[in-house]
Amino acid sequence: MLTLQFIPYSEIGSLNSDKKVQKLLRVVQEEKIILLEGRLASTEKSELIRKTMEEIDEKFKGIEIEELDLDKKDKAFLEKIKTVLINFIMGSRRGLTIIGPASIIKEIKKDPDKIQLFTEESRKRRK
């Protein structure tokens, strides 16, 4: 069975980077695919990847991660300033991040407007 877990920004927005990374990694290690409201900071994304590399073993094969940015690149100047101010005040809530175990996610395809997630059944669950 494939399990998706939605994590709203409000659930992790107040956590420091270490706690955020620990929470996300713990959920993925339970073989769940995370649909995260918003995006991680580049330092948080790097730290998540680094910690994942430390955890890889026979059972946990790593993660796949992709972000979808909902901000249009061709916005008017004033709209861009408004978006920057909102992100600064409220955090990076615009967008969607998908994080999942590499043992389940076969491929993530991204184009500017959508993400396609291709999965395969986890080997340990096959009978």
Q: Is residue 126 part of a domain?
A: no
Instruction: Taking the CA atoms of 90, 17, 107 and 104 in sequence, report the sign of the dihedral they define.
Output: negative
pTM equals: 0.78
pLDDT one-digit tens code per residue, 57-85: 988 999 999 988 766 566 677 777 776 77
Task: Collapse the DSSP code of 62 into the 3-class scheme (helix H, G, I; strand E, B; otherwise coil) and give the result.
Answer: coil
pLDDT one-digit tens code per residue, 13-62: 889 999 999 999 999 999 999 999 988 988 999 999 999 999 999 889 99
Q: Is residue 127 part of a domain?
A: no
Q: What residue numbers bound the domain in which 95 lies?
A: 4-121
Q: Please tell me the total count of domains within the chain.
A: 1
Collect all residues with Cβ–Cβ distance below 8 Å to 90 and sequence separation of at least 6: none
